[in-house]
Amino acid sequence: MKPLKIPIPSPTQQMIGFNRPFLTGQETNYIQQAVALGKISGDGFFTQRCHEFFQERYDFPKVLLTVSCTAALEMCALLIDIQQGDEVIMPAYTFVSTANAFVMQGAKIVFADSEPTTPNIDISKIETLITPKTKAIVVVHYGGVACDMEQLMALAKKHNLYIIEDAAHAIDSFHKGKPLGSIGHLATFSFHETKNVISGEGGMLVINDEKFQKRAEIIREKGTNRSAFFRGEVAKYNWVDIGSSYLPSDIIAAFLYAQLQHIQQIQEKRIKLWNRYYQQLQVLTSKYAVQIPFIPDYATRNGHLFYLVCNSLEERTALIAFLKRKKIQAVFHYLSLHQSPFFQERKEHDGRTLAQSDRYSDCLLRLPLYYELTEKQLDYICYQILEFYEEKNK
C-alpha cells in the first residue's frame, strides 16, 4: 500500500491532540436538572438512571457507580477480604491502580507477563504462579480487547480463586457475545475523560456474584447500611462494616447519563475510526515488522484506542519526535509495574523476566483516537507514520 498523498499542513495548523473529551450537548442540562431536583449527593435520580442503563443494556446483575475505577478496585479488594500475605496475580503491564488497590490491603502482587500478540495477561503463564496463598487473579482487557475469559474462569474454578475484570478500557466490548465485565466475580469500569463514555472522573463496580451485593452497598456507604435504610429494609442505619465514601455526586452521574444516551453513536464513530487506522496501517506489519492491534476470534474491538508496537525504544522515541514536529501528539502507555521504584523497594518480585511486558513498555505507542477526530486528520496521521518508516528504511 502506497502512502496516501496528503498535503503537508501549514506551520499554523493546530496540534492534533491525543484526546479530546466529547460532549453530547445534554450534560449541562442534566446537571441543572440534578440541582433542581434538590439532591446532588450520591445515589440521586441520575445515579439510578445510570444503574438501570447498565443493568438493562448489558444484563449486569448489580452495578454501583463509584468516584473512579480505582475506587471500584479498592472495593473489590475489600469484598474478597484481602488480608496481609494473600497473593493476587495480575499483569505487570497495567496502570498502577490495578495493583495499588490490593497492596493497600496487604496483598503480595505476583506479576505475570503479557501475550506476544496483545498486551493482555498471558494465561498460559498463570497456573505456575498459583500457590496456596493465591486468592485472586485480576485481568485487564487492554484497549477493550477481551482476555480469554473461558480459560480464566476454568482456572479459577480449578483452584478456587476469584476473577476480577479490570474493564477500565472495555465498555461495550464482548467475549463470545457476553459483555466484558459480566463474566468474572467482580468487574470495574472507568469513565475518565480519556474513555469512550465519560464523566470527567468516575467509575463503576459490577457485582456478578450475588454474595457480594449487600456488602458492596455497605462498603460504598462508609461501612453503613444506609442504602438498606432508604429502601425501608431497616429501621435505622448503623456502622456495620469497614468502608469508605466511594459513591459519586449525582452531578457526575448526570453528566454520565447524557453520555450513555449517546453510546451507540459514540461507539459507531470510534469503531469507524479504529477500522480506518487498521486498514491504512496494517502494511506496517508486513513491511516493517511493526505490530498493530490483534483481535482474537473470541473478542471484539470497541474503538477505545489504537496503538503501534515499534521495534525498539529508540524507534518509538524517534517516531514520537517526528510526529510532534508534524503537530501530532502520540503517547506511550504503562511502564511495567514490576520495574517500578515502589515495587523494586518491596523486593517481592521473584526475578522472572517479563519480556513482553517490558517490550510493550518500551515500544507501544498510542495514536490519537476520539469522537471528533476527522477522517482527514486520521489520514494525515497515517500518512506521516508511513512516511516516517519509508524514510527510516531507505
For residue range 60-102, list pLDDT tens digits in order.
999 999 999 999 999 999 999 999 999 999 999 999 999 999 9
User: Looking at the chain, which residues constitute the CATH 3.90.1150.10 domain(s)?
Assistant: 263-392
User: Looking at the chain, which residues constitute the CATH 3.40.640.10 domain(s)?
Assistant: 27-260
Report helix, strand and coil shares of the chain as percent, to nearest 5. Answer: 40, 15, 40
- Sorted by sequence, the CB contacts under 8 Å of residue 318 that are 6+ apart come out as 388, 392
Please tell me the distance from the alpha carbon of residue 386 to that of residue 5, in angstroms, as a whole number.
11
pLDDT at 5: 56
- Average pLDDT score over the chain: 95
Percent of the chain with pLDDT strictly greater than 70: 96
Kindly report the length of the chain: 394
Asked if residue 10 has pLDDT above 70, the reply is no
Backbone angles phi, psi at 197, to 5 degrees: -115, 140
Taking only the tens place, the pLDDT of each residue in 55-65 is: 999 999 999 99
Unique residue bearing C-alpha cell 441520575: 46
pTM of full prediction above 0.85: yes
Backbone angles phi, psi at 189, to 5 degrees: -130, 160
pLDDT at 234: 76
Asked if residue 236 has pLDDT above 80, the reply is no
Asked if residue 304 has pLDDT above 90, the reply is yes
Would you tell me how many other CB atoms lie within 10 Å of the CB of residue 114?
26
Taking only the tens place, the pLDDT of each residue in 130-149 is: 999 999 999 999 999 999 99
Where are the strands (E) in 106-161, listed by range? 108-112, 134-140
351: pLDDT confidence band, cut at 50, 70 and 90? Answer: confident
Please tell me the distance from the alpha carbon of residue 208 to that of residue 196, in angstroms, as a whole number.
23
pLDDT at 348: 87
Cβ–Cβ under 8 Å, residues 71 and 246: yes
Query: Biggest alpha carbon distance in the chain?
Result: 77
How, if at all, do strands 87-91 and 134-140 pair?
Answer: parallel
> DSSP characters for 47-106?
HHHHHHHHHHHH--SEEEEES-HHHHHHHHHHHTT--TT-EEEEESSS-HHHHHHHHTTT
> Poorest-confidence range of 62-66, 200-204, 389-393?
389-393
**Nearest partner of 249 among 93, 379, 66, 70, judged by Cα:** 66
Strand partners, 205: 64, 188
* Cell numbers at 35, concatenated: 440541582
pLDDT at 1: 43
Region 23-50 average pLDDT: 97
**Nearest partner of 191 among 335, 304, 102, 340, judged by Cα:** 304
Class of domain 27-260: alpha beta
Class of domain 263-392: alpha beta
Region 198-219 average pLDDT: 97
Region 227-252 average pLDDT: 85
Asked if residue 3 has pLDDT above 50, the reply is no
